[in-house]
Amino acid sequence: MENINFNISLLRLLYDNPSITQREMAKNLTCSLGKLNYNIKFLLKKNYLKANINKNSKREKRYLITEKGINQFDLSTSKENYKVNLFKRKKTFLIAEAGINHNGSLGDAKKLMLLAKNYNFDAVKFQKRDLNICIPEHQKNIKRETPWGVMSYLEYKKKIELSISQYTELKRYSEKIGITLFVSCWDVNSLKLTKKLNFQYNKIPSAMITNLEFLNEVAKEKKKTFISTGMCLMKDIEKAVNIFKKLKCPYVLMHCVSLYPCDENKLNLNMIITLKKKFKCEVGYSGHESSVSPSVTAFFLGADYIERHITLDRANWGTDQSASLESVGMERLTTFIRKIPHTLGDGKKTFLGEEKTVSKKMRYWEYN
């Protein structure tokens, strides 16, 4: 994974700066000349690059990207002229964020998982917290009305928190129905507790992106990690990315606005393009709006992963329910996202055999 990302960055650098020297490349990519030369030799061997020797100085080489290299890595999406190559899009990975919409019910958690499976999502995600750590002291004893009566905020959160033994059961259920399960942990203790369940992915909630100690612990696990980018500035995203790069942990940046539900005028979906340009990595979209269309727009802007909150009923108790999709919305989303690639074709004009039958009926001047 590291070499692939490095080679893409190298090719992108050459594509945007064709006259750049090797020393300038090494400086820009923050690597040694030895590592740079090793990867250049690999790219030459694969015919992604070709050497262009300077006639005035045979020791000084320049490298040109071949057409094969441009097509293989889709380098036509340059920083200055970004566009999504829809013909080469891989299948978009859909994540159903069940979150805490189960309200502490193992049965409802399973229903949400089955809903995600039935509507063709690739994965379903829940949340795990150590409530003694994650709830600020000044909030713990605040009284609030709940479906279970009046209780403190801490008591309420404990009521809806699933235990590790329940997550063990959900892991077995996910394997039974055939859907990937993972959780977003909100503290190091929860991360350690869920480690034994061996989930395939990790998730950094937007609330945790500025917790550098937590980011380090997650990155050490080397699992592909989805990093939500709500409630932060670009400098915070840069710090997070640097940690994951340093620890060689694969990551996906998820554009996100942390409002529940979010006004569609505040979604700023062009950030998907901004993140792809700046970090040259996989980028997704985590949406909290009530409609489906922004997620489809995110697909066309290049989102490789789309995460949406799901619920059994938007009228249910809970802060996330109104920002979630019910079964009808889930069906619309997956139908649109899965159908789009099949409608795009290859962009080459053809005269279909089926059209010839129609043409014989309409082009009277050709067949009389």
pLDDT of residue 215: 98
> What's the CA gap between 38 and 353, in Å, rounded?
50
Residue 350 CB: number of other CB atoms within 10 A?
Answer: 8
| Per-residue pLDDT, 25 | 86
Instruction: Give the chain's residues under pLDDT 70.
Output: 1-3, 53-60, 71-89
**Residue 353 φ then ψ, to 5°:** -60, -40
Q: Of 279, 282, 285, 288, nearest to 298 (Cα)? A: 285
Q: Which residues pair with 127 in a beta bridge?
A: 184
Q: Where are the alpha helices (DSSP H) in the chain?
A: 2-16, 22-28, 33-45, 67-72, 106-118, 131-134, 137-140, 153-160, 164-177, 188-195, 212-220, 234-246, 271-279, 293-300, 327-344, 353-362, 364-367
Buried b (16+ CB within 10 A) or exposed e, 196-234: eeebebbbbbbebbebeebbebbbeeebbbbbbbbbbee
CB 61 within 8 A of CB 53: yes
Element (H, E) at 170: helix 164-177
Q: What count of residues does the chain have?
A: 368
| Domain limits, CATH 1.10.10.10, in the chain | 2-72
Helices (H) and strands (E) in the chain, counts: 17, 12
pLDDT at 178: 97
Rounded to a whole number, what is the distance in angstroms from the first to the last CA of the chain?
Answer: 62
Domain at 86-341: CATH code: 3.20.20.70
pLDDT of amino acid 75: 54
Span 2-72: which CATH code? 1.10.10.10
For 50-109, what is each residue's pLDDT tens digit? 887 655 555 567 788 887 777 666 554 444 445 566 556 678 999 999 999 999 999 999
Q: What does the pLDDT read at residue 80?
A: 46
Q: Where in the chain is the domain with CATH 3.20.20.70?
A: 86-341
What CA–CA distance (Å, rounded) separates 258 from 302?
A: 21
